[in-house]
Amino acid sequence: MKIRKLGKLGPNVSAIGFGAMSITGFFGPTNDTTSQECLKAAYDYGINFFDTADVYGSGSSEILIGKFLKDTRAEIKIATKAGIQTKPLRQFNNSKDYLTQSLDMSLKRLGIDYVDLFYIHRREADRPIEEVVETLKEFIDAGKIGGYGLSEISPTTLRRAHSVHPCMAVQNEYSLWSRMPDMGLIRTCDELGVAFVPFSPLGRGMLTDRPAKRENMVSPDLRINNPRFIEPNLSDNLSMLKPFQGWAADNEMTTATAALAWVLSRGENLIPIPATRTAKHLIEWVGASEITLSPKQLKEIDDILPVGWAYGDRYSVSQYVGPETYC
């Protein structure tokens, strides 16, 4: 596994991280044994950067990772997130009191006293980002976090935050079928020395040899109401993907490996965090960090899946509450 730096001032981590949302059963049923096997496989293949959040399985993702850390004594760089308050009603809360409470609870579930990276999961629109960063800086000064990150934000928000205290990482959806960060966010991260961490780099299970099937999606899977997974968009997207699947096979790669290698090719500051429930699926893409796509291959991929090829928006209207738009 190749290594990349988590921002200008951050630690060295595996070029591919592990997104720990799926191990809670969010995208299909699983169990603790299978989840622990998946975490072990990730670590055995050289992944030393795990990404979780307090809302993943209502804290169960952090608990599973905490157990893995305790049982294996593995040296893992941990990122977690807070800022989405689920009770009594779902809302975004970036207040100092709420973030302090959330961080302390996350550390307790993880069984550690420090995380390398602490994200604001969603920005509270009415609270100045400068105020939020001052809170995060206090966490850094207290030795609770190594650095802070922001999720689903615009380039202007990043610049404002970074002017108060350097940001370590920004996390947004990015893949061959979700390209909005190309419209300024990735460039801004590169300019400021901030790591860009793409989540869902495999298109929520679509950029694989066996794309996600609608009949296998059950609540709370957000794909059920996602425009790209609703007909006729779903069938159109599957049709568009077939030539890319063939191209990957012709180049002796799985579709997932090819898609992830493409993400890695977009810049040395990109550290994608694909998610999976099983070690079996992890093996399909974990070797992507060892692949360097040639200019010819990149041109061929662009010809097959040009910018904007996907049918349907990446979120429905109701799901688009929180992510900042800027294009």
Percent of the chain with pLDDT over 90: 85
Pairing outcome for strands 169-173 and 195-199: parallel
Q: What is the pLDDT of residues 106-163, one digit of tens each?
A: 999 999 999 999 999 999 999 999 999 999 999 999 999 999 999 999 999 999 999 9
Residue 53 has pLDDT above 80, yes or no: yes
Q: Which residues carry out catalysis? A: 56
What are the C-alpha distances in Å from 205 to residues 11, 58, 211, 213, 276? 29, 22, 6, 9, 9
CB atoms within 10 A of CB 139: 20
Give the strand order in the sheet containing 49-51.
Answer: 18-19, 49-51, 77-82, 117-120, 148-151, 169-173, 195-199
More confident residue, 233 or 225: 233
Give the per-residue SS3 of the chain.
CCEEECCCCCCEEECCCEECCHHHCCCCCCCHHHHHHHHHHHHHCCCCEEECCCCHHHHHHHHHHHHHHHHHCCCCEEEEEECEECCCCCEECCCHHHHHHHHHHHHHHHCCCCECEEEECCCCCCCCHHHHHHHHHHHHHCCCECCEEEECCCHHHHHHHHHHCCCCEEEEECECCECHHHHCHHHHHHHHCCEEEEECCCHHHCCCCCCCCHHHCCCCCHHHHCHHHCCCHHHHHHHHHHHHHHHHHHCCCCHHHHHHHHHHCCCCCECCECECCCHHHHCCCHHHHHCCCCHHHHHHHHHHCCCCCCCCCCCCCHHHCCCCCCC
Q: Place 327 in a pLDDT band, splitting at 50, 70 and 90.
A: confident
Output the pLDDT for position 214. 84
For the chain, domains (ranges, CATH) are 3-320 (3.20.20.100)
Output the pLDDT for position 90. 87
Give the C-alpha separation, 22 to 191, whole Å.
32
pTM for this model (two decimals): 0.95
**pLDDT averaged over every residue in the chain:** 94
Output the pLDDT for position 22. 86
Mean of pLDDT values over 205-212: 92
Q: What is the pLDDT of residues 7-36, one digit of tens each?
A: 998 999 999 999 999 888 767 677 889 999
Q: What is the pLDDT of residues 57-94, one digit of tens each?
A: 899 999 999 999 999 988 999 999 999 998 888 899 99
Asked whether the beta carbons of 271 and 217 are under 8 A apart, the reply is no
Q: Place 285 in a pLDDT band, splitting at 50, 70 and 90.
A: very high
What are the C-alpha distances in Å from 243 to residues 82, 249, 255, 297, 307? 39, 10, 10, 14, 15
